[in-house]
Amino acid sequence: MKMMDIGEVADRSGVPPSTLRYYEELGLIRSVGRRGLRRQFDADELLKLSLIALGRAAGFSLVEIAAMFGQDGQLDMPRDELRARADDLQRQMAKLRVLRDTLRHVADCKAPSHLECPTFRKLMKAASRTTEPRKLPARTGAERRR
Amino acid sequence: MKMMDIGEVADRSGVPPSTLRYYEELGLIRSVGRRGLRRQFDADELLKLSLIALGRAAGFSLVEIAAMFGQDGQLDMPRDELRARADDLQRQMAKLRVLRDTLRHVADCKAPSHLECPTFRKLMKAASRTTEPRKLPARTGAERRR
DNA sequence: CTACGACTTCAAGCCAACTTGAGGTCAAGC
DNA sequence: GCTTGACCTCAAGTTGGCTTGAAGTCGTAG
């Protein structure tokens, strides 16, 4: 099987060597051995790196991503947790959609002040629905939520 | 006009007071004055906080978000940049969609190993297309890209 | 009018995710 | 067989985004 030096992995994945070493340290990727000192990677790691990049883009932490791979290196989670994650992503997408629409609207809107524009306000209301956990009940303590 | 103490803003927005002060220091939000020592915020800031939360969720840094507001506090960017941002978000959404579909697929797939599953591989190929900037040409230097 | 608790400032601390630097090893081409 | 440059380790540094703590101020309910 064809093995790659870290530099080749870096070039093909766009991820710098320092980061690859760091990822290996965290257990996100694995080198299959050494040639002299040099780590050897096989091609599967490229796929894994795509998945990692994807996960990062989706806002997962490295530790969370690591948890999604079993020690065998395969994606491995209880099915219902996978589905729950997928649903999180769906919600995340809804936020992005709102922001995207807001930006597009602002780009096109003629109103002198956005605060006065009904479309803008509607978008912002949609925004608050998706963003604010709203823990209003019980306001009697000091600066809370820590 | 009805003004709010920082604690009320915190409760209504879900953003802790320490963070609100920090945001004000960065210029992301503004207090309109003081009552004694206490900052007074008006209701518009809640809207702005939604927008900020949205921007954060979309992966923008606080500095980038600050740059989207003019000093008047209104969303303010050249129209084409706004549209470019919106397009970034669109791409971002595509990534999320791929990841979501991948997770859902993994949750349902019967194949013993995902690497052998054609659907999985197809999703991963889609993933690489969206994630890898791929600066392959010219590999002749030391550990580059810094 | 006093006590309480919600606020204030400012400096320091913390975590994640990397990057940088110094000093060293090694494989391959000349 | 020597040089070169791509790799190695390990510790320390950096950035972004906040939080924490100490020490102090002040509005308001009782």
**Between chains, do B134 and A14 touch, taking CB under 8 Å as contact?**
yes
| Annotated domain spans of chain A | 3-68, 79-131
| CA to C1' distance (Å), from A127 to D15 | 29
Question: How many Cβ pairs closer than 8 A exist between chain A and B?
Answer: 170
Amino acid B144: pLDDT: 39
Residue type present at position A87: D
* B134 interface with A at CB cutoff 8 Å: yes
pLDDT tens sequence across B60-98: 999 999 999 887 777 888 899 999 999 999 999 999 999
| CA to C1' distance (Å), from B7 to C28 | 67
**Between chains, do B82 and A90 touch, taking CB under 8 Å as contact?**
no
Q: What is the pTM assigned to this prediction? A: 0.86
Residue B37, classed as helix, strand or coil, is coil
pLDDT tens sequence across B111-137: 888 878 888 888 888 877 776 543 433
Backbone angles phi, psi at B101, to 5 degrees: -65, -35
- Which whole number is the average pLDDT over B27-50? 95
Pick from A15-24, A42-51, A81-90, B48-57 the range whose average pLDDT is largest: A15-24
* Residue B58: pLDDT over 50: yes
Amino acid B142: pLDDT: 38
- Rg over alpha carbons for chain A, rounded to the nearest Å, is 22
Question: Between B11 and A75, whose confidence is greater?
Answer: B11
Chain D, protein-covered positions (CB within 7 A): 5-9, 16-20, 24-27
B 96-115 residues with CB < 8 A to A: 96-100, 102-104, 106-108, 113-115
Mean pLDDT is lowest, of A51-65, B36-50, B118-132, for: B118-132
Residue A35 near residue A3 (C-beta atoms within 8 A): yes
Top-level class of domain B3-68:
mainly alpha
- Rg over alpha carbons for chain B, rounded to the nearest Å, is 22
